[in-house]
Amino acid sequence: MTADEWESLCDGCGLCCLVKIEDEDGGDVYNTSVACRQLDIESCRCRDYENRLSDVPMCIQVTVDNLPQLGWLPATCAYKCLYEGRSLPEWHHLITGDETSVHDAGVSAKWFAISEEYVHPEQLSDFILHDEGNQ
């Protein structure tokens, strides 16, 4: 798979751009409804994708090699689906031909995320998403 083909797998849900909290005792990772300041919440795309890794120290480049360590990725993530031998979700843009289908299906951060610019770091635990099937 070429780099462009790999990048095209991203469905634009923005869920990987949600700020995570790691339980120091158990090591569990929890998503919050707080999004990286670089996430354009309306489109669920990075405002500065090319420079994101240097601009946002906690940003992670998803690769075939690190997928096993990224258990916090949503079950619907195309990278995770293919890694686990599952099909892409029926709403995925590579199937529908429509990049907004992820939003139409209601599975993007667009509908609930708030930028980290508006949340004090000490408040992050107040924004933990508890009803997830991917923890």
CA distance 54 to 118: 22
DSSP string, 75-101: TT-HHHHHHTTPPPPTT-HHHHS-TTH
What are the pLDDT digits (tens) for 95-116? Answer: 999 999 999 999 999 999 999 9
What are the pLDDT digits (tens) for 3-61? Answer: 999 999 999 999 999 999 988 888 888 999 999 999 999 999 999 999 999 999 889 99
Q: Residue 56 class from Cβ within 10 Å (0-12 exposed, 13-18 middle, 19+ buried)?
A: middle
Is 135 a residue whose pLDDT tops 50? no
